[in-house]
């Protein structure tokens, strides 16, 4: 029978417990405490969850007894789940510390990417994680080229407006997280800019013009004076038409269509259309002692003209006129005039805003009865007016000198 010479109780070392400290887009920090009674060497391995081989070189650290060890594994991919394992070197071999929760999985941070586009710009945005990524900066790349702009936080998103793009063009954008000296890709997407809005001139009258446009469904558009930038029509949808009024007659206009950029703060000039408002030329076709025939060039198809006249002075809007003749013809004979009397004639046109004429006067010299023709040139070029009536036409002031008796009744000299 064996005899016990001596005995001593002994306890094996506990397993090290591995836990996570923090994570970013491209790194995960972990810690553990060495439960051994002396210095021990540990090996930290990691791999993408579901894969069988390690993602990088194992981290080997010698830790003193009872000391908490912190280490950060960098060079990871964003939005990726990694499994970590801790092993302790014992008698030349590494022993897994799994019984002490020595393995765990953790996913690096991720963001959602989105882009809204216009003809010449795109608003790119991604999730703003706020304080969770404090100290991390971001950089946006377009077709592989780093942009200088800094994303701005708005409603839980980091946004950056990309400008000076071309319509109907595909671009690739990417977000990089700058973590110290490391750059971590947070994702890459492609977008295609929309087509630029088009503008077409329809019917052109003297004080109004119809314009139609075609843009992107759901887009927001407006019409502006291309020279001054003044808004002529606002809150327009993707496709439609509108009548601009009141305009000056015989006046050239350039109208631009602008689309609201995706950030909602600026407008892009998509296209410009030009036109000249309608005009007419009034002239004397024939005259006599009691009648006058006036003729004029057509202002536009379907125009309804009003020829007014008076022995008193009248202006381009026919104020002061005592007689008028309405017609769709291009001439009118006025009868019942008094001989040796000066008359003023004004040509106007009926439009939505009322009678439209132009304040341009010309006086025919006595006895000459020469034909006069005048073009519709506005007295000002101030642009759009807000008055209800805008003048169009030509006013001709005529002095008609009629003989007191006809040549047939004139007595010969003795």
SS3 annotation, the chain: CCCCCCCCCCCCCCCCCCEEEEECCCCEEEEEECCCCCCEEEEEEEEECCCCCCCCCCEEEEECCCCEEEEEECCCCCCCEEEEEEEEEECCEEEECHHHCCEEEEECCCCCEEEEECCCCEEEEEECCHHHHCCCEEEEEECCEECCCCCEEECCEEEEEECCCCCCCEEEEEEEEEECCEEEEEEEEEEECCCCCEEEEEEECCCCEEEEEECCCCCCEEEEECCCCCEEEEEECCEEEEEECCCCCCCEEEEEEEEECCCCCCEEEEEEEEEECCCCCEEEEEECCCCEEEEECCCCCCCCEEEEEECCCCCCCCCCCCEEEEECCCEEEECCCCCCCEEEEEEEEEECCEEECCCCCCEECCCCCCCCCECCCCCCCCCCCCCCCCCCCCEEEEECCCCCCCHHHCCCCC
Provide mean pLDDT across the span 392-414.
Answer: 36
Query: Are 348 and 286 found together in one domain?
Result: yes
Q: What is the pTM of this model?
A: 0.69
Q: Which residues pair with 116 in a beta bridge?
A: 123
Final residue in a domain of this structure, among 277, 297, 326 = 277
Residue pair 254/265 in contact by the 8 Å Cβ criterion: no
Contacts of 369 (CB under 8 A, 6+ apart): 284, 287, 400
Query: Are 170 and 127 found together in one domain?
Result: yes
Q: Are strands 395-399 and 363-364 parallel, antiparallel or unpaired?
A: parallel
Instruction: Let me know if residue 302 belongs to a domain.
Output: yes
Give pLDDT tens digits for 278-314.
999 888 888 888 888 999 999 999 999 998 888 877 7
Query: Are 168 and 204 found together in one domain?
Result: no
Between 18 and 159, the higher pLDDT residue: 159
Query: Are 78 and 124 found together in one domain?
Result: no
Please choose, from the candidates 376, 377, 367, 375, the residue with its C-alpha nearest in 3D space to the C-alpha of residue 398.
367
Instruction: Let me know if residue 401 belongs to a domain.
Output: no
What confidence tier does 149 reach under pLDDT thresholds 50, 70, 90? confident
What confidence tier does 36 reach under pLDDT thresholds 50, 70, 90? confident
What is the pLDDT at residue 370?
A: 36
Give pLDDT tens digits for 174-227.
999 999 889 999 999 999 999 999 999 999 999 999 999 999 888 899 999 999
What confidence tier does 101 reach under pLDDT thresholds 50, 70, 90? low
Tokens, residue 141: 């790349």
Final residue in a domain of this structure, among 192, 221, 246 = 192
Contacts of 248 (CB under 8 A, 6+ apart): 207, 277, 378, 380, 381, 382, 383, 384, 385, 390
Instruction: Let me know if residue 125 belongs to a domain.
Output: yes
Q: Which residues pair with 22 in a beta bridge?
A: 29
Instruction: Let me know if residue 93 belongs to a domain.
Output: yes
The share of the chain scoring above pLDDT 90, in percent, equals 58
Give pLDDT tens digits for 113-145.
999 999 999 999 999 998 888 889 999 999 999
The C-alpha atoms of residue 137 and residue 151 are separated, in whole angstroms, by 9
What is the residue whose two structure tokens read 């006595």? Answer: 366
Instruction: Let me know if residue 220 belongs to a domain.
Output: yes
Contacts of 408 (CB under 8 A, 6+ apart): none
Instruction: Let me know if residue 213 belongs to a domain.
Output: yes
Peptide bond before 246: cis, by omega within 30 degrees of 0? yes
Q: Are strands 113-117 and 103-107 parallel, antiparallel or unpaired?
A: unpaired
How many independent structural domains does the chain possess? 4
CATH number for 129: 2.60.40.10
Query: Are 259 and 294 found together in one domain?
Result: no
Give the number of other Cβ atoms within 10 Å of residue 66's Cβ: 10
The C-alpha atoms of residue 174 and residue 185 are separated, in whole angstroms, by 7
Residue pair 198/213 in contact by the 8 Å Cβ criterion: yes
Give pLDDT tens digits for 219-258.
899 999 999 999 999 999 989 999 999 999 999 999 999 9
The C-alpha atoms of residue 232 and residue 293 are separated, in whole angstroms, by 40
Distances (CA, A) of 360 to 57, 245, 247: 92, 21, 17
Query: Are 96 and 23 found together in one domain?
Result: yes
| Domain assignment of residue 342, given as a range | 281-360
Instruction: Let me know if residue 66 belongs to a domain.
Output: yes
The C-alpha atoms of residue 124 and residue 103 are separated, in whole angstroms, by 38
Instruction: Let me know if residue 89 belongs to a domain.
Output: yes
Final residue in a domain of this structure, among 81, 101, 121 = 101
Query: Are 95 and 22 found together in one domain?
Result: yes
């Amino acid at each position: 029978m064996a005899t016990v010479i001596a005995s001593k109780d002994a306890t094996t070392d506990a397993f090290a417990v591995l836990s996570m400290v923090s994570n970013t887009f491209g790194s995960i920090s972990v810690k553990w405490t060495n439960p051994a009674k002396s210095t021990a060497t540990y090996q930290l391995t990691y791999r993408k969850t579901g894969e069988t081989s390690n993602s990088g070189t194992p981290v080997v650290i010698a830790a003193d007894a009872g000391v908490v060890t912190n280490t950060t594994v960098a060079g990871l991919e964003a939005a990726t789940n990694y499994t970590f394992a801790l092993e302790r070197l014992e008698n030349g071999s590494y022993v897994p510390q799994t019984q002490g929760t020595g393995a765990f999985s953790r996913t690096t941070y991720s963001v959602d990417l989105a882009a809204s586009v216009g003809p010449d710009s795109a608003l790119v945005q991604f999730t703003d994680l706020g304080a969770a990524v404090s100290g991390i900066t971001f950089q946006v790349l377009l077709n592989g080229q780093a942009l200088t702009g800094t994303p701005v936080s708005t409603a839980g998103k980091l946004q950056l407006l990309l400008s000076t793009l071309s319509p109907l063009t595909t671009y690739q954008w990417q977000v990089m997280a700058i973590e110290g000296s490391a750059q971590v890709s947070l994702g890459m997407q492609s977008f295609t800019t929309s087509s630029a809005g088009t503008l077409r001139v329809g019917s052109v009258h003297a004080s109004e013009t119809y314009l139609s446009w075609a843009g992107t469904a759901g887009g927001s558009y407006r019409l502006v004076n291309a020279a001054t930038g003044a808004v002529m029509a606002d809150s327009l949808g993707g496709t439609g038409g509108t009548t601009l009024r009141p305009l000056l007659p015989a006046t050239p206009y350039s109208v631009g269509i602008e689309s609201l950029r995706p950030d909602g703060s600026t407008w892009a000039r998509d296209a410009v259309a030009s036109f000249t408002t309608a005009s007419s030329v009034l002239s004397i076709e024939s005259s006599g002692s009691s009648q006058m025939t006036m003729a004029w060039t057509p202002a536009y198809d379907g125009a309804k003209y009003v020829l007014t006249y008076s022995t008193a002075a009248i202006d381009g809007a026919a104020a002061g006129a005592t007689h008028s003749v309405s017609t769709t013809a291009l001439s009118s004979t006025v009868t019942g005039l008094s001989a040796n009397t000066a008359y003023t004639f004004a040509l106007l046109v009926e439009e939505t805003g009322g009678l439209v004429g132009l304040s341009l006067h010309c006086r025919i010299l006595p006895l000459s009865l020469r034909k006069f023709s005048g073009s519709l040139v506005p007295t000002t070029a101030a642009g759009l007016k807000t008055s209800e009536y805008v003048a169009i036409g030509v006013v001709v002031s005529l002095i008609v000198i009629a003989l007191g008796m006809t040549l047939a009744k004139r007595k010969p000299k003795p």
